[in-house]
Structures are given as C-alpha cells and as structure tokens.
Structure 1
Amino acid sequence: MSKVPGQAQDKASPLSHSGQQRRDFLKQSAAALGGATLAAPLLTGRARASAGTPETRTAKLGFIALTDAAPLFVAAEKGFFAKHGMPDVEVLKQSSWGTTRDNLVLGSRRNGIDGAHILTPMPYLISTGAMTANNQPTPMYIVARLNLAGQCISVGREYADLKVGVDTTEFASALAAKRARGDAVRAAMTFPGGTHDLWIRYWLAAGGIDPNSDISTIVVPPAQMVANMRVGSMDTFCVCEPWNEQLIRQNIGYTANTTGELWHNHPEKALGLRADYVEQNPNATKALIKAVMEAQMYCEQPENIEEVARICSRRRWINAPYDDIIQRMQGHFDYGTGRVVENSPHRMRYWNDQASYPFKSHDLWFLTENIRWGYLPRDLDMQALVDSVNREDLWRAAAAELGIDKSAIPEGTSRGKETFFDGKVFDPENPLAYLDTLAIKRMR
C-alpha cells in the first residue's frame, strides 16, 4: 500500500483526476466489495474574492441533533452561508444516521439532501455501497472535518459502584456475571461502522470484551439513547452531547470517559456532500466550505461559546435545555461519579488544532477499523479509496480564497502516527501492520 502522500501531489495523483475518474474508481471499489454488507482563528485580513460565482444559491444539508453540528447551525443563524453567495441553504434535521444515509442516496432532486453533518466513515460506506440498500453505491466526498473529539461513552447506574472509566477490566467481569444470570447485555451506538460504533468497540476490546460475542451491539438514534437506557435497553452507549449530560442529570447513568481520553484530538464528524453536487457546483461547494470554516472559527472563540450553546438549544436545532449543553461545551466535565474535570484538554474542538482540515491519514484509520470489524474486506485498496473520497484539495482551495493564514493549514495530508490510550500505535504508512497487532477483531 502506498504511503499517505504529502502536500505536493504527483501528476498521477487521484486529486488531479476528473470527476468521471473518481466515479469510475468508486464503481470499481463497490464491485470489488462483491455486494457484501459490509488557537484563535487565523485570517490574513480580509477574505479574498471568490474564484467564481456559485452555480447555485442553495444546498440541502442534513444534521443530527448533536453539538458537533454547531458549525452548520451557526452558519445558518449568523448568515455565513448568505455571505458567501448561498442564501438559500437549508439545514434540515434528520431523525437518525440511517435516515441521513437514505436521504443522501435520494439526493435533493428526489426530495432528499445534497450533503450532511455526518459520521466520518459514512461517506466511504455509502460510496462503496457497504451500508446502502441493495449495496448500491452513491459516490460522496468529504470536504471538511467539522470537529475533533467531544463524544462520550456512558454506562448505566447499575454499575455505579465500579466507576467505570477507560479501563473496562472490572466492567468485563460485571457483564460476564450478568450474562451468567441469563440477562442480556447490550452496547448501543448510532450507525454500523460509524465513529460511535468504532469508539465503543475499541474501548470494549481494549479491556478484553469482545463486542461480537461478549455483548450485543445495537443501533439506537442519538436522541433516543437516554430513554432507552432508562428502560434498561442497554448497559452502555456512545454518543455526542447533550445526551451523556442528560443521562447524568436524570440520574440514569454516568460518563465513563470522553472519547478524547481514548485518542486525543481524534477526528469525529465531517461535512459530506454527494459527488454529483460537488462536480456540478464546484464554486458553490467552496462557498459552503468557507461558510462552515467561518462558523467553526466562531464556535471556537471563548467569548462566543455561551451564544453557540443557546443556538444549539433552540427547538429548530437540538431542542434541549441550555444547561445540558453549556458545561461540556466550555470544557467542564462532571462525570457523575464524583470526578470533575475543569478545562478538559479533551473538550470538543471546532477550529483549533486543525480541527477543520480532513487529514487523509485519519480516514485511513477509519477504513482500517471498518476492516477490523468486518464491514469492509481486508484486501480493500484503502489509499485509493481515500484519495477518491477525501477532497482536502477543495478545503485548501477554500482556505486560500478565505485568506486563512498559512500557519493554520497543514503542510501535508497526514498527521503522522497516532497513539491510543492502550498504547497501540497507528502508522498511516502501514495500516495493516497496526491491524495485525489487534487481538480482538472480526475480519472477512
């Protein structure tokens, strides 16, 4: 497998390919799957003039009611879409990630959507047909990352005495005892192969819990997590805010960890767009990216956090109490176990720490973990797929037009080696070597 390329692109790089070549590659990838189910903002001054007028004034963008969708809320509320020539952008609430996928497959021409706030692996799972009806691929692009970290893993109050954290050793014994009594044990996530699925699987497996045999993994939409925990539908779940905070406030469970403790500054959600929308509307696409970039900068500024939390709380967006949102958005984490962390280094990042840039090396990790759990085949050409779906070139073009200071733009497309809480190291130049070090997995 070729290594993650640097900033300079060879003339034969997929980044220089036409839209048709990208589509051809995605079709070939889908066929290869065999139909199996698989710091403060830095601007150099005034934003530079756009390279071209947007081809359309509109886009339909989906979102799930989570705080990491805040850049879309803010771009709509503060007029950033309109500022960049896109006054008719619609930001539309979706009931689940499955609904998001289905509406992306439909596209806006068939009353669906053009793009979405989305779990980073989903554009790959949709593009290859690994997680679509009849395994039919719908080519998609990732054009920006929306945030880093900020998710949490929660457990039910029946495990209050354990005070479960990043170490699941004692939790494993408690789950085994519960199974021995004949009771079901379940872990909930939001979409197969999505970020929440991968975080909770990694966490469980690191402590010796096999998520394929020791616990049942179920899919629950984010907004339904707390209600399902209340009635005993699961023992643990992974989701974004405000649902972990609500679990504590309703005395139903507590936070075991925030996912940044598993992998510091890990990539999370992305801005994903249908490939045909991007190819037909390249200037409009850059306008959307620029609007989202400005919104990300706005969300990151400390003086704006209270306003951003109030925007998130509105019925139009998350429809949750402000008090359930503001604390963790500010970095104040009360885990519900007596553990309280102020100014957490693992709070969600929207812009700082290069949160907006879609590193290709990170997408390689997501694909590797999807291979680990059997959603994608081991012989998948991961690098070629990343080069076809990840459009960091459009992010760079938008950043140049917006006048982003060069110090805020990565020099290359890899963030380098990544180290996880259990000491495992992912080298994007050799993903399969990392995969081979993992004891618990389910590959095909």
Structure 2
Amino acid sequence: MVFASATQTAQKWGNLNCDRAELSDLELKCIICGGFHLTRDHYEFMQTMPQDPVDMVDDLVKMGLYKDNQLWAADGVNAYELRKALFLKTVGRGDPRREQLILALCKQAGGIEHAFAAAFGPKAGLFFADSIRNSRFTRREFLRNLAVGAAMVTLANCGGGSEPVADDAPVDPAATADLEKTDLQIGFIPITCATPIIMSEPLGFYQKYGFNAKVVKMPSWGAVRDSAIAGELDAYHMLAPMPIAMTLGLGSAAFGVKLASIENINGQAITIANRHLGNVNGPADFKGFVMGVPFPYSMHNLLLRYYLATGGLDPDVDVQIRPVPPPDSIAQMVAGDIDAYLMPDPFNQRAVFEGVGFIHMITKDLWPGHPCCAFAASDQWINDNPNTFRALNKSIIEAAGYAQDPANRPEIAAAISERAFLNQPVEVVEAVLTGNYEDGQGNTMEVPDRIDFDPYPWQSFASWISSQLVRWDLQGDGVAAKVIPEQGYDTVGKDIFLTDLARDLAQEVGQTPPDEIYRTEELMFDTFDPADPATYVQQQIDQYGV
C-alpha cells in the first residue's frame, strides 16, 4: 500500500533536484481514488520501507502521510472490526448462514456497536477497548492493529464501498430439494454487466435457492476461459460469444459450454481519450487508432468491427484492435497505449469521472437490446449437477428480473460497488445503472435503458453472433466460416443457447418471457433476419468491402 506521490518519495529519499518532467514516468493518476501513486518504482520503494508494521506506521507518521484524523479513524475502524470478529465468533459459531443472520440483526439494531452492547452489556465496548490498551502488548499490538485499520480506511475511501445489503429472503424448499452441490464458486469480471451474478451474493438470491455461493473476481476473460476448462469454477460470467467460440474450438481447444441466460443487454460504450475531443464524429475518423476491446470473442469486438466497417474502414488494416482487460483500460488510455475502447461499464463512465475520456456512443444506439454478457456453465458440470444448475440459473434469472426495475437500481449500485465486487465509487455505478450520466462532452444524459437486464437468450442473438464470427474470421484460418455453415446457424444456436429452459425458469419466478425464440433484430445500419444469416453476411461484405 503506497500513500506517497512521486514528489514526496523523491524528497524523502534525497532526490530533491528532480523536476516534474523527470517524475512523470513514476506516477499515474489512480483510477480508483484519483490520487497519484507510484508506478514504475513501486517495487524498489517498498523494498526500502520497514517490514515490521509498527516501524512502518512510525515511518509513515514521520513522513506526514498519516494525519491525526486518519489515525483516529483507523483506530475506530480497528476497534469496530475486532468487536465484529468477536461477536461473530461467539454468537455466530462459525456458521456462515448464522453470521449472515447476525449481521442482518445488527443492522436492525442500529449497527454492530448497539448489538454488541445489547449482547454483552452497555459497558462492553469500553471494557473491550481498555483490555486492548492495558495488555502487555499494548504499544506494538495497538500500532500493528492501527496499520491494519489505516489500510482499511484507505481502501474504503479508495473503493467507495458500502455495507452489504442484508438478506432476509426465505429459502425456497422446492428450489433447494435434491441439490447435488451447495458450496459454489462463480467467476466474474468486475463490470456492471455482471450485476445479476454479483448482486445475488449480497442480496441473498443464492441463499434463497439453498446455495453457499461465493463470487470470485477474475482478472480477465482469458482467465475465465482457462479456469472454466480447468474445472476451477462451478459456473461463470461470460461474454455472449464465448460459449459459441469455446464449444466450436475457436480461440481455444474445443470445450462444451452452455449459455444458460443473458445477464445484461446494452450497457457498453465507445470511449475516446480526451486528446481526440472534437476530432471524431463518425467511424471513418477512427483510422489509425489503437482501440481496446475486452476479448476477441466478445460483443464488444463484433460491434466495434460492425461500426468501423460502415465508415469504410477495415478493422484488421486501418486500426489496431487489441484485447485489454477492462480494469486496465483507463490506465492504458492515460498512458497513451490506446486511443479509444469499446468496453463494458463502469469503465466508460469512470473515464469521464476521472477526466480521461469522453463517451462517443453507447452501444444501445448501435443495436438496441443487444446481448452482452451471460451466465454459463460447462456441459460436464451441468450433466453432473442438473438440479444444482437449474436452481442456480433460476437464481440468476430472478436477480436479473429484480435488476430490471429502475427503482431497485440505487440499492443494487450500493451493493455491488464495494471493494469485494466492482471496487468503484457508488456514484459512477449508479450513473450507469440509472442512465443519468455525464458524457464527458458537456452533456447530461438521461437514458434509462443505457444498461438493462433481460435474461431471455433469443436464438436470433446466437445467429447474429455466429454470422459475425463467419464474417470476421477472427482466427484467420477460415474455421468459423467452415464449421458454422456446415453445422447450421440454427443447430449451433439451439445447442448452446438454452432458450427453452430459460423461459421455463423465468415463468417459475413470475416473469413473462416470450414464446418466440427468434426475432428480427434492428441495428443502426441494417436489419438482421435470423432466417438467413448467410445472406446477411454477404450483403455486409458487398456493401462495405469487408
């Protein structure tokens, strides 16, 4: 954990003659808290710092990096966490569900302090604090705990986190019967597209269906794919094209994956670095740009290529499109490694929040109601755990239905913004979920369905995705153009997108999904008829040359 700016560090270590130009390669504006943190010399700096927590705190205090108000806040946080741990250990007895109930009751009581006093007496807090101060380890234990507390204060301020939302949903006995497995690990990327998967932990949708499920933050889509193949996760948050690509062996060895339900529709944007403000008005103006997408087999890559081609650009010749993990996107834009990106939120809105970039276009304008991310599991896991899979998918579908209601989105934003999940300021996440946002070009926008949550996996989604995999030949070996037409667009879609199951489960939770499995998709520049994807691809190539 580093608190000093590069200037402070240079001064501390005697390099008083270096100027801001020399320091420019040492620091980078933190995309989390907005401050300046060490970058290139982070490792060397930390090697010179004391390793003992007590000496570390003393050194940082002498450097002036901890102020009195921070120390008092850290002490308070430390006491709170120690009391919370004691309370959960003595009353919760190590049972996660019991502990969750205790935390919910604490919230009803007005907080952990009130509940602690109610359980152990009104003087318990003072006694507990005094017992720490009067122990024979007083100073070193206090400073060690203070270091931990100060770290928590810093991370909390950096992450813009909130208290978890208490879950009071009753367990559904019918849904939890005959579950093959209840302790689950579900991978996710920290983006708003993962809202149903993430919120189901703090808001209790997993628990309702009998699961002790933990969401696992993954660093990249490649890591999600590799963990899926290795069997390290039970289920996953995936980009909508990934199950098709993985099942057909595009971009990896063939590995059967089913798309169980859609997590979000819309919810992406093309964001451009502020250095290009005023110079980009349409797709032709991106010529020569280096552009980021989160993964080759993503709606982001396919939509970006669709858009650029309408401006006469060949996405493989006239621009460079490179995979960028979403959490790295802003830092790469600041560093000048990329000029623009088509990314999931909150990283489009965060670029505006940080003054780094502006939103050129939200993808809802390219294709209203387009799919983006999905809930998925492997063929083998589904076969081994059919009841678990059905109940887990049902919990995600119910969560997506809850997220559809605009009235619930401020609550959801608070629940998923915290450090364990998105680690973003609540106001950034809320701007995305509510559609009330600044675009970085001086405009205040109101787009309620900037992101939306409809879990129904239309077969026409699968057909459009397959058509673009054929069109762009992302592997460069013609496999997609051979395999997909040979198997048939309909066969690929129906084998991988579990539309009928999603409809049944949605109906069970009181939703009203459509009876149809195909629909005509209206995009910005054309209309997609799922009855004839091959003709659609040829028309695109004939019109735009690529």
Q: CA–CA distance in 2 between the matches of 1:215 and 1:291? A: 41
Which AA in structure 2 matches 1:437? Q
Deviation at 1:122, TM superposition (A): 0.3
- Confirm or deny that 1:428 pairs with 2:530: yes
Which stretch shifts more, 309-318 or 326-335? 326-335
Which AA in structure 1 matches 2:199? V
Deviation at 1:384, TM superposition (A): 1.4
Question: Which of 171, 192, 203 is the matching residue for 2:296?
Answer: 192
- Give secondary structure in 2 for the equivalent of 1:217: strand
Q: CA–CA distance in 2 between the matches of 1:127 and 1:163? A: 38
Say whether the 8 Å CA contact 1:186–1:236 is kept in structure 2.
yes
Deviation at 1:271, TM superposition (A): 0.4
Q: Give the paired residue count.
A: 366
User: Within 5 Å, which residues of 2 pair with 1:237-276?
Assistant: 237-276=341-380
- Confirm or deny that 1:131 pairs with 2:131: no
Which AA in structure 2 matches 1:101? R
Which AA in structure 2 matches 1:104? A
If asked which structure has higher relative contact order (CA below 8 Å, sep 6+), I would say 1
- Give secondary structure in 2 for the equivalent of 1:187: strand
Q: Which residue of 2 aligns with 1:98?
A: 222
Deviation at 1:100, TM superposition (A): 0.4
Q: CA–CA distance in 1 between the matches of 2:473 and 2:383? A: 32
Q: Which residue of 2 aligns with 1:10?
A: none
Q: Which residue of 2 aligns with 1:142?
A: 259
Q: CA–CA distance in 1 between the matches of 2:452 and 2:377? A: 22
Question: Which of 174, 184, 203 is the matching residue for 1:78?
Answer: 203
Q: CA–CA distance in 2 between the matches of 1:278 and 1:383? A: 22
Q: CA–CA distance in 1 between the matches of 2:251 and 2:279? A: 36
Which runs of structure 1 show a deviation greater than 3 angstroms over 4 or more consecutive aligned residues? 46-52, 439-442
Which stretch shifts more, 366-375 or 299-308? 299-308
Q: CA–CA distance in 2 between the matches of 1:142 and 1:328? A: 25
Deviation at 1:340, TM superposition (A): 2.6
Q: CA–CA distance in 1 between the matches of 2:330 and 2:368? A: 26
Q: CA–CA distance in 2 between the matches of 1:338 and 1:269? A: 30
Deviation at 1:441, TM superposition (A): 6.6
User: Within 5 Å, which residues of 2 pair with 1:318-333?
Assistant: 318-333=422-437
- Give secondary structure in 2 for the equivalent of 1:239: strand
Which AA in structure 2 matches 1:62? G
User: Within 5 Å, which residues of 2 pair with 1:28-177?
Assistant: 49-50=174-175, 52-86=177-211, 88-107=212-231, 112-132=232-252, 136-162=253-279, 164=281, 167-169=282-284, 171-172=285-286, 175=287
Deviation at 1:317, TM superposition (A): 0.3
Which stretch shifts more, 185-194 or 222-231? 185-194
Alignment deviations for residues 174-196 of structure 1 (CA, whole Å, 9 cap, x no partner): x3xxx5xxxxx311101112111
Which AA in structure 2 matches 1:425? T
User: Within 5 Å, which residues of 2 pair with 1:356-395?
Assistant: 356-375=455-474, 376-379=479-482, 380=484, 381=487, 382-395=489-502
- Give secondary structure in 1 for the equivalent of 2:295: coil
Q: CA–CA distance in 2 between the matches of 1:82 and 1:319? A: 23
Deviation at 1:51, TM superposition (A): 9.2
Deviation at 1:47, TM superposition (A): 7.9
Deviation at 1:332, TM superposition (A): 1.2
Which AA in structure 1 matches 2:521? E
- Give secondary structure in 2 for the equivalent of 1:317: coil
Which AA in structure 2 matches 1:90? K
Say whether the 8 Å CA contact 2:305–2:315 is kept in structure 1.
yes
Which AA in structure 2 matches 1:220? V
Which AA in structure 1 matches 2:213? V
- Give secondary structure in 2 for the equivalent of 1:77: coil
Which AA in structure 1 matches 2:492? L
- Give secondary structure in 1 for the equivalent of 2:266: coil
Deviation at 1:116, TM superposition (A): 0.9
Deviation at 1:301, TM superposition (A): 2.3
Alignment deviations for residues 70-100 of structure 1 (CA, whole Å, 9 cap, x no partner): 11121111221121122x2221110000000
Alignment deviations for residues 89-139 of structure 1 (CA, whole Å, 9 cap, x no partner): 2211100000000000001xxxx112211100001111122121xxx2111
Structure 2: 5+ residue runs without aligned partners?
1-170
Give the alignment's Cα RMSD to 1 decimal: 1.9
Q: CA–CA distance in 1 between the matches of 2:515 and 2:259? A: 19
TM-score (normalised: structure 1): 0.79
Say whether the 8 Å CA contact 1:51–1:401 is kept in structure 2.
no
Q: CA–CA distance in 2 between the matches of 1:418 and 1:301? A: 24
Say whether the 8 Å CA contact 2:469–2:481 is kept in structure 1.
no
Question: Which of 426, 438, 450 is the matching residue for 1:347?
Answer: 450
Which AA in structure 2 matches 1:360? Q
Q: CA–CA distance in 1 between the matches of 2:437 and 2:535? A: 36
Question: Which of 506, 514, 530 is the matching residue for 1:399?
Answer: 506
- Give secondary structure in 2 for the equivalent of 1:65: coil
Say whether the 8 Å CA contact 1:189–1:239 is kept in structure 2.
yes
- Confirm or deny that 1:283 pairs with 2:390: no
Q: Structure 1 vs Structure 2: percent identity of aligned residues?
A: 28
Alignment deviations for residues 281-333 of structure 1 (CA, whole Å, 9 cap, x no partner): 11111111121122112222233211211122111101111122111211113
Structure 1: 5+ residue runs without aligned partners?
1-45, 180-184
Q: CA–CA distance in 1 between the matches of 2:237 and 2:210? A: 20
Say which structure is richer in helix: 2
Say whether the 8 Å CA contact 2:435–2:450 is kept in structure 1.
yes
- Give secondary structure in 2 for the equivalent of 1:254: strand
Which AA in structure 2 matches 1:151? Q
Say whether the 8 Å CA contact 1:373–1:441 is kept in structure 2.
no
Say whether the 8 Å CA contact 2:265–2:370 is kept in structure 1.
yes
Change (3 A) 1:47 1:89: closer
User: Within 5 Å, which residues of 2 pair with 1:405-444?
Assistant: 405=511, 408-414=512-518, 416-422=519-525, 424-439=526-541, 440=544
Deviation at 1:48, TM superposition (A): 9.5
Say whether the 8 Å CA contact 2:183–2:213 is kept in structure 1.
yes
Deviation at 1:52, TM superposition (A): 4.8
Q: CA–CA distance in 2 between the matches of 1:396 and 1:330? A: 26
- Give secondary structure in 1 for the equivalent of 2:207: helix
Which AA in structure 2 matches 1:395? A
Q: CA–CA distance in 2 between the matches of 1:68 and 1:441? A: 33
Q: CA–CA distance in 1 between the matches of 2:423 and 2:529? A: 40
